[in-house]
Amino acid sequence: MVAVTGEVDLATAPQLEQELADALATPGATGVRVDLSGVEFMDSAGLRVLVAALKSAEDAGLTLTLAAPHERVRRIIEITGLSEVFGLAGKA
């Protein structure tokens, strides 16, 4: 699991990108769960990292799951139409 806290923006997205890449490259991993409960703000740079990580996971036959996104972050994911891509549609 990768636990994310604070803000995910242009300045912090590269760190998240590296952590997700490392988690997906863990030998024997079947997937990665990304705990977003501690993230209060995410901009397009953060969304780009999550979409790229999802594609990398799928290409490797792994799963990438977003868990417990803060309401503000969930709203951003919904507005951009990514809730269905990440399997958050209909979840509260």
Q: Strands 31-42 and 2-8: what pairing?
A: parallel
Domains in the chain: boundaries? 2-32+43-69
d(CA 46, CA 29): 23
Tell me what the pLDDT averaged over the chain comes to: 93
Task: Tell whether the model's pLDDT for residue 90 goes beyond 90.
Answer: no
Are 55 and 39 in contact by the 8 Å Cβ rule? The answer is no
Q: Is the pLDDT of residue 92 over 80?
A: no
* pLDDT mean over 74-89: 89
Question: What band does 42 get if pLDDT is binned at 50, 70 and 90?
Answer: very high
| pLDDT band of 7, cuts 50, 70, 90 | very high
Radius of gyration of the chain from Cα atoms?
Answer: 12
Which whole number is the average pLDDT over 37-64? 96
Do 35 and 3 touch, CB atoms closer than 8 A?
A: yes
